[in-house]
Structure 1
Amino acid sequence: MASGSAIRGSRIGAGPLGESERGIAAPRVRVTYWCANGHESTPSFAAGEDVELPETWDCTRCGYPAGQDREAPPAPEASVPFKTHLAYVKERRSDEDGEALLDEALAALRARRGR
């Protein structure tokens, strides 16, 4: 059984923190971005003269690139479909090369088996 003097739900140093204990918060600017699906993202950035805001931002809902122009959001990048090992081999070799390699491998296999 737990001791009756324990402070539950708290830790050392916990408590309400105000501006005086944390310091003054840095000035922020919120920028709105829209993706091709119409999702809106509004991240906040540090405000200042020397701060460059990004042109695009990844949408937090769908991952598409988002821009600051609501009417003309950036187009999503074309995704390359997954290729199998066979697709990569077919890019490197012609059918004739494949037949020659297969014949060579079968000849070596038959020679080992004694046929």
Structure 2
Amino acid sequence: MAGGNAIRGTRVGAGPMGESERGESAPRRRVSYWCANAHESRPSFAVEAEIPENWDCPRCGLPAGRDEQAPPAPPRNEPYKTHLAYVKERRSDADGEAILEEALTKLRKQREEP
């Protein structure tokens, strides 16, 4: 049985708030953006605000542009490279052999000295 609560289902301070209590909202305009997956997003901006050229698509996360026919290309994801992969980009196998031989010669010389 209900406890006879007259304001059941409401919060303290809740109630209809119209523009008279909130103040007038700023004039807005909606701008369409399209991503490479043909998703359209329409964020709203204040009329006097600067409109960005690109916007992140809320559905897939790709960059979206204002031109429906030519949306921005998806970013190219570079695979994770190990330290060895970066070293191999800078040095050839012959360079590696020369560095290894130099280090081994140095170690052998240290072992010979008392």
Bigger mean CA deviation after superposition, 35-44 or 94-103: 94-103
Total equivalences in the alignment: 105
Moved more, 22-31 or 96-105: 96-105
Q: Select which of 93, 99, 102 maps to 1:101.
A: 99
Deviation at 1:110, TM superposition (A): 4.7
Deviation of 1:90 after TM superposition, in Å, equals 0.9
SS in 2 for 1:101: helix
Cα deviation, 1:24-78, whole Å, max 9, x if unaligned, reads: 1111111111111011111111113xx3211221111222221222222222233
RMSD: 2.8
Matches within 5 A, 1:1-115: 10=11, 14-16=13-15, 17-48=17-48, 51-110=49-108
Residue 10 of structure 1: how far off its partner (Å): 3.9
TM-score by length of 2: 0.71
| Unaligned residue ranges in structure 1 (runs of 5+) | 1-6
Residue 3 of structure 2 is matched in structure 1 by: none
Identical amino acids, percent of aligned pairs: 63
C-alpha distance in structure 2 between counterparts of 1:105 and 1:95, whole Å: 15
In 2, the alpha carbon distance for the partners of 1:77 and 1:32 equals 21
Regions of 4+ moved over 6 Å? none
- Deviations 1:65-103 (CA, angstroms, capped at 9, x unpaired): 212222222222333232221111112222122112222
Following superposition, the deviation at residue 107 of structure 1 comes to: 3.8
Residue 70 of structure 2: SS of its match in structure 1? coil
Secondary structure class of the residue paired with 1:24: coil
Q: Give unmatched runs, 5+ long, in structure 2.
A: 1-7
